[in-house]
Each structure stands twice: as C-alpha cells, then as structure tokens.
Structure 1
Amino acid sequence: MQQEEQEQVNPGNQAAEELFQALGGRISPELLVHALTHRSFAHEHPGMPNNERLEFLGDAVLELVATETLYKVHPDMTEGQLAKMRAKAVSEEALSAIARQKLHLGQYILLGRGESENGGADKDSILCDTVESLIGSVFVEHGIEGARTTVHTLLDDTLAEVATEGPALDWKTSITVKAHKLGLGEPRYAMAVSGPEYAQVFTAELRLEDGGTVIGKGRASSKRKAQLAAAAQGWKRLDDQDLLAALRAEQSA
C-alpha cells in the first residue's frame, strides 16, 4: 500500500479519531483498513481483502437493530408500517446521507485509480456499502452490543425522521388508497423522457383515469422518482374540493 494511503486510514491520526467519534466506537487498525477497502482497490493490490463480506454482515446487523428499535418505539404500528419505515431508514439514499453528513466518509474510502477518477468517493452505492461494512467491523470486534451502539449513533435521527413522514414513505400506494376512498379512478402515469442519454430527465403526469385531468406532475433523473413526485403532488391536491368536484364530473361523464 502506498504511504499516502496508509496515512489516510491510520487510526492514530486526527481524521480517523473523528471517524471513530462519529461511529461511537473504535476498531483495530487492520479491521478499519479492511472495512474501508473497496473491491476496486483490492483488485489493484493482490492479496488485500475487500470489504464486501463485512458489508454483508453489517447489512444484517443494521436491519436487526433498526427493526428492534422501530418495534419498541412504535407499539401501535402495523407490520406493514414498520416495514416501510425500516426500508426508508436503511435505504441507499439514507445511508449515503449519513456517510456524507455524519461520517464525512468519502475521504477515507480506499478506491482503485479508475473508480477514484470516476467520482467513486461520492457515489451513493459505495458510500452506503462502506457504512454497512463499518457496522459489520464493529460487530466483529465488539459483538452485538457494540454494533447496536454504533447503529443507534448513526441511525436514530433517521429512524425518528421517517416516523413523521407518513404517506411520504410510499406516495404511490398512498395516492391509490386515497383515490379509492374518495370514489375516484385508478392512478395512471404517462411518462416522457428528454435530454441526452447520459443525463436523461423523466417526466411523469398523473391522472386518475385515462384521458382525465392531470393532478400531479414530477420531473426527476429516474422513472420511479418522477412517478413518486407526481404521486406526492397528486395526493396533496386531492384535498382541493374544487378539483374533487371536477374529477367526479369527469368520471360521471
């Protein structure tokens, strides 16, 4: 390993001490390097293990602690509600945000030259996987109690936040349920794509029946995100009594 890479993850330096503080626990130098080693770096350094097995372990520990926390904190919620909150809390989006905001993790990850040049240190997938590998390494060294402390340190704010989001956990399901309760039609999404292939923009228009009034519109970098944005807008607009009257008139016609 090159000298600068050794210094980057040396647990005795100030940056690594800040990482340990953010994690809520310490791990050995060897395990720390292991947890931070992306497969692209290991490929360029034969014989060096990557962090994928630790990621696999950390993912399971993360789900366990998140599940037991939600189960205890929300005794009146159904299995379906708890599952949606857990999925949101441990999603790639949530974990990559934790990696950036709490751990400032990009500076520590050991990446191969090509991955590094392609911005790998700020990719959601790599950040998310590395958070999981760090949780796995804490479990290896300190067992479930140590890992539980780390998960609570990293995730409790997120677990509290998702409990307040309500329908935002699943806007597409929520708009369907609300439309049915109001006696309206089934949500339909019309999609359009614009922009160059490397930077496509998806636009979704939401109607409650084919050819009806557009009640929600969303633009995003993926089809799913555009539809979620349209569903969120449509869900809120169904509180407008004038719109409801117009939609019912359309349905009668």
Structure 2
Amino acid sequence: MTSSEEYNRWFASELRKLQERVGYFFSDPFLLEKALTHSSYAYEHGISLSNERLEFLGDAALQLCVSHSLFSEFPQWDEGMLSQRRASLVCGSALLAWGQAMGVCVLLKKGKGMSRNDESGSTCADAAEALIGAIFLDGGYEGVFRTISAYLSFQNFRSVFSEEEDDPKSRLQRASQEHGLGLPTYETVTVEGPSHAPLFTVRIL
C-alpha cells in the first residue's frame, strides 16, 4: 500500500470519528470534505474547493441556533443580556475549543504556509463554522440545531450561566419580572472603599 493510500484510509477513518463526536452523519460527504478544506490548500493544489462560503453560512446558522436556545432557556433575560451571552458562545475561542475537541483542527487541509503561521488557531475556528454551515446545508435547520445543542452542552452553558445568575441582583431581577414589575431601577447612594475595590450602597426605586 502506498503512503497516499494509507493517508486516504486514515483520513476516511478520522472523518467517521469526527462525525461520531459531532453527532451528525453527512448524507453528502462532499460537504464535509469542503468544510475541511482551507482556501490556501485549494490554491496550492489548483482546485476550486474551499470552506470560505460555508464559513459565512455557518456563522449565521450558529448565531441563529444559539439565539433560539438562549431565548428558550432564559426567559428572564432582556435583549442586552441575550446578546452578551450569545457573544460569549459564538466567539473564536469557543469555536476553537469545540473544533479542537471534535477533531476539526487535525483534519483541516491547509496550505504549507498556513500550517506554519496559524498560531492563533483562527483557521480552525473558521473551519468549525464551516462545518456548521455544511451541516445546515446537509440536514437543514433541524440537523444543525441538534448539532448546536450539543455544541452548547460542550460549552457547559447552562451551569455556567446559572451560577452567574445566582447573585442577589439577578434573583431580584427574576422575582421582579415574574411578578410583572419589569426590571428594577437602581440609584447609587454612596461609594466607599479603595478605587480598586469600591463598595456601593444602592437604593431600589
């Protein structure tokens, strides 16, 4: 068996493992291959296949699915809080962590120059978005929403956000909204202590 044949067998095996980890199996394997092909590799090999357009689509699909999930899970949050939390879940570092865990980074085909210079991991994060876009094309909204639900579980978003929400101010806001009173308004009465660790006394209006 030639080295090329050995590589192809290894690559095919790893693609199966990636789909198992992600929890989605492609009906059209070409879309998966495309998601894992960087434009630098396509340029070096003279092919038109690359993941740039899938990255664009994946970004939109990720934003929509995360927005849908947060909107459903946290009815007490206002628009500002929803936007803030969504941003933390769709940022490059979150995508990179997921992409590394799923095996996207290892399988991503890049040009030789990119392989040496991608210290930030941005191409892997982009490929993770492209993978999400490919799943959307292959499985529609239902398929990609299941994938993003697993993505959110990977990010441990429920427990993290629930812990952050368990402070007195958050409990007051929840109680106020549950009784139809809207969000409380606050007035700062005094500020004491050093500038690096001030102590505020606040009145609820």
Same fold (TM over 0.5): yes
Counterpart in 1 of 2:116? 117
Give the whole-Å Cα distance in 1 for the aligned partners of 2:159 and 2:98: 13
**Which runs of structure 2 are paired with 1:59-74 in the superposition (5 Å)?**
59-74=59-74
Give a deviation string over 1:168-199, Cα, whole Å, max 9, x none. xxxxxxxxxxxx846459xxxxxxxxxxxxxx
Distance of aligned partners of 1:182 and 1:112 in 2 relative to their CA distance in 1, 3 Å threshold: farther
Counterpart in 2 of 1:24? 23
Give the whole-Å Cα distance in 1 for the aligned partners of 2:46 and 2:109: 14
Q: Structure 1 length as normaliser, TM-score? A: 0.61
Displacement of 1:3 in angstroms is 3.0
- Name the amino acid aligned to 1:163: F
RMSD (CA atoms): 2.7
Displacement of 1:154 in angstroms is 1.6
Note if contact 2:191-2:198 (Cα within 8 Å) is conserved in structure 1: no
Note if contact 1:96-1:128 (Cα within 8 Å) is conserved in structure 2: yes
Note if contact 1:89-1:162 (Cα within 8 Å) is conserved in structure 2: no
Displacement of 1:80 in angstroms is 0.5
Give a deviation string over 1:62-111, Cα, whole Å, max 9, x none. 1111001000110111111111000001111111111123x132210000
Task: Mark the runs of 5 or more structure 1 residues left unpaired by the alignment.
Answer: 168-179, 186-207, 216-236, 245-253
- Name the amino acid aligned to 1:76: Q
Distance of aligned partners of 1:17 and 1:182 in 2 relative to their CA distance in 1, 3 Å threshold: farther
Displacement of 1:156 in angstroms is 2.7
Distance of aligned partners of 1:182 and 1:6 in 2 relative to their CA distance in 1, 3 Å threshold: farther
Displacement of 1:45 in angstroms is 1.6
| Number of aligned positions between the proteins | 174
Q: Structure 2 length as normaliser, TM-score? A: 0.74
Note if contact 1:9-1:32 (Cα within 8 Å) is conserved in structure 2: no
Give the whole-Å Cα distance in 2 for the aligned partners of 1:117 and 1:8: 22
Counterpart in 2 of 1:141? 138
Residue 47 (str. 1) matches residue 47 (str. 2):
yes
Matched residue SS, 1:25:
coil
Residue 155 (str. 1) matches residue 156 (str. 2):
no
Counterpart in 2 of 1:238? 198
Task: Mark the runs of 5 or more structure 2 residues left unpaired by the alignment.
Answer: 166-186, 201-205
Give the whole-Å Cα distance in 1 for the aligned partners of 2:189 and 2:9: 62
Matched residue SS, 2:136:
helix
- Name the amino acid aligned to 2:116: E
Matched residue SS, 1:65:
helix
Give the whole-Å Cα distance in 2 for the aligned partners of 1:80 and 1:164: 17
Which structure exhibits the higher relative contact order, with contacts defined as CA atoms closer than 8 Å and separated by 6 or more residues? 2
Distance of aligned partners of 1:29 and 1:124 in 2 relative to their CA distance in 1, 3 Å threshold: same
Distance of aligned partners of 1:138 and 1:76 in 2 relative to their CA distance in 1, 3 Å threshold: same
Matched residue SS, 1:163:
helix
